[in-house]
Structure 1
Amino acid sequence: PGGSQDALRASVEMQEALQKYNKERLGKNRMPVKVGIGMQSGNLIMGITGDVERLDAAIIADTVNTAARIEGLSKHFGNSILLTGVCKDNLTHPEEFEFRYLGLVKVKGKQKPIKLYECINGDLPKLYKHKLATKKTFEEGMDLYFNQDFAMAAVTFQRIFKRNADDHTAKLFLNRSAHLITKELGDDWKGIELMSTK
């Protein structure tokens, strides 16, 4: 009922509940379950389809498609909660959460690139503390990356990754920066990633 704010709170609570469940699984020698959450804000059409034999809820909207694409990117970036800039802007109390900006992405079916943010509040406690402690360094790395100083960006992300190898997002940008060091980029390069998630 509280829009993006309640939705993000629910996402964090879902990840926390999953952490507790995974502890039970660990006690039974089972692999942990991972869930990625993608969030977008906007209008949609919701209704019931079918007949008397079978009814099903259906949601139709560009908002839903975008949220599904963003959810698919959570695996690529290696994080638990991703949200768009539109969704983040709709938060009534953004100070309740901690975010890392991941740049612009262009997903299948969208003409305009989307601002992408990671909410770290749903991470495991050790990883959350690491990301919080290295947040400023991560932002410095992103600034270097978007200013095409890829060598220094790689060094910066390497420092973060060395502190915690579970920071898969830092590793991703480390690899991207290292790859781009030898590439010649045009003046129009903005770091927009073209994503082909299903």
Structure 2
Amino acid sequence: MVEQRHAPARLLVTDDNKVNRLLMTRSLELQGHTVECAENGRVALEFLRSAPFDLMLLDMEMPEMNGFQVLEQLSDDPKLRDLPVIVTSSLEGVSNIARCIELGAEDYLHKPVNPVLLKARIDSSLEKKRLRDQQKEMVRRFATSEVAQDLQQSGFALGGRRVHATVMFCDIRGFTALVESQPPEETIELLNTYYTLMFDAINGHGGVVNQMIGDGLMAIFGAPLPLEDHSAAAVYAALDMMEMIELLNVERIAAKKTALRIGVGIATGEVVAGYTGTHQRATYTCIGDTVNLAARLEEHTKVAKRGILIDPATCIEIEGRIEVEPLGPAQFRGKSAPVEVHAVAGPAPT
């Protein structure tokens, strides 16, 4: 059987016994690892918070801060809680072992530590860390930074919570006709350009794009992470989106291509935001009357011949800071009473 080899790692040996530190360091360096040493828990935490490590070997009985206290600190720190820790201790008793595991330790080895067993446990822990790191990278790649941060801080759980937020819907006017008039490759390139510009404007004002369907998108301002003045942030983002589309149109017209027009609907209020789906496949989204209203306002931009429409709650939040035009009441599907609609100053869709 071929021995599985692992890439060298950066390890931290934490033990108040100098002889133990030296012998452990020599053994680990012979395996190809880079090793740093700490004589107690306080020094170990200073190391961990100043530079990245792949794994820590931790003694329990130390002055100033013992191993249990170190594990408690690690479990409370989102940046360090996933660090693999192998406890090496002379403490006996199932209760001590159980407490270490409950506090997040990967393994518990009694002193004197068998070097063959230690190598196997280190290799196994590093492999688990590699897989966890790959998982985090996938989350960062396919989720927004805010959702990734929410997952790291709160963990994953299906369900939602009530939050006060602002919801935005946006799509390209006349997209179906545009698609029919050009090759599929050109449409894909157009969508990639469109989303690049829209994401930049939305993310630049603290919003999170959580849905993309064809040429349409949905964004949330104020969830999953709180956002101060989220109504104004959404409107400023919409104005930036309009400006970017106009700049893009200069290039498109020069290339004898059809100019783009977008419609944006924005509503503010209570939503239920969270992860929906299954444990195998889920997405972060929000539901509620505010979401429905934002979607209806986006649709109404075609009727109102305005680029950005907002609801009364958003209008109140931005009062005096952004120029708006009252358009009067509109009756929307699913609403029992008409809604007062306001247009934000900006180019109107055709």
The TM-score by the shorter chain falls in which range?
A: 0.5 to 0.7
Moved more, 48-57 or 59-68: 48-57
Partners of 2:270 and 2:317 in 1: how far apart? Answer: 13
Name 1:3's counterpart in structure 2: 230
Aligned partner letter, 2:342: Y
Equivalent of 2:331, from 86, 94, 106? 106
Query: For 2:347, which of 110, 123, 137 is the aligned residue?
Result: 123
Secondary structure of 1:112's aligned partner:
coil
Corresponding position of 1:81: 308
- Following superposition, the deviation at residue 51 of structure 1 comes to 3.4
Structure of greater Rg: 2
- 1 or 2, which has the higher strand percentage? 2
Report the counterpart of residue 188 of structure 1 in structure 2: none
Partner Cα separation in structure 2 for residue 115 and residue 52 of structure 1:
40
Q: Deviations over 1:10-47 (max 9, x none)?
A: 11011111111111111221111111111111011112
Q: After the TM superposition, which parts of structure 1 deviate over 6 Å for at least 4 consecutive aligned residues?
A: none
Give the drift of 1:70: 0.7
1:119: Cα distance to partner? 0.8
Deviations 1:163-186 (A, max 9, x none): xxx9x8xxxxxxxxxxxxxxxxxx
What code does the residue aligned with 1:97 have?
Answer: I
Q: Secondary structure at the match of 2:269?
A: coil
Q: Distance in 1 between matches of 2:344 and 2:290?
A: 19
**Counterpart in the other structure of 1:35:** 262
Q: Residue 123 of structure 1 aligns to which amino acid in structure 2?
A: P
> Any gaps of 5 or more consecutive residues in structure 1?
125-165, 169-198
Aligned to 2:89: none
- What TM-score do you get using the length of structure 1 for normalisation? 0.57
User: Against the structure 1 CA distance between its residues 53 and 25, is the aligned structure 2 distance closer, same or farther, given a 3 Å change threshold?
Assistant: farther
* Structure 1 residues 1-198: aligned runs within 5 Å: 1=227, 2-91=229-318, 94-120=319-345, 122-123=346-347
Question: What amino acid is aligned across from residue 324 of structure 2 in structure 1?
Answer: F
Secondary structure of 1:47 counterpart = strand
Residue 53 of structure 1: how far off its partner (Å): 4.3
Structure 2, unpaired ranges of 5+: 1-226
State percent identity of aligned pairs. 28
Total equivalences in the alignment? 123
- TM-score in terms of structure 2 length: 0.33
